[in-house]
Structure 1
Amino acid sequence: MGELVDKIKGNINEAVGKAKQQSDDPVKREEGADQELKGKGEQLKGKVKGLLGDDI
């Protein structure tokens, strides 16, 4: 179950990050890039959990 939760969180953070990057504010764009990267990390974490099991 943790695998699915991590993947969902990752997808949400990635989508919100991409939306923030469309802003005219350079601070928001940087924040969006960071959030998108965080989302990709969460998705990777979910994939690893899926491969190794949720007990890690």
Structure 2
Amino acid sequence: MLALADGRANKEIAGDLGVTEATIKAHMTAIFRKLGVHNRAQALLAAQPLIGRAGR
């Protein structure tokens, strides 16, 4: 999620992780579905409480 918060594109994230862009897209689709959202902005808003808890 931090890569999303930084505004990085799927292609950039894929390159950093050594996977294909299609893999990132598939994972993003799954994340959106689990969070019940339709786009990156909504995903970031929905994940804020979860991200905040991870640092505790």
Is the TM value for this pair above 0.5?
Answer: no
Larger Rg: 1
**TM-score range normalised by the length of the shorter chain:** 0.3 to 0.5
Structure with more relative contact order (C-alpha pairs < 8 Å, separation 6 or more): 1
TM-score (norm 1): 0.35
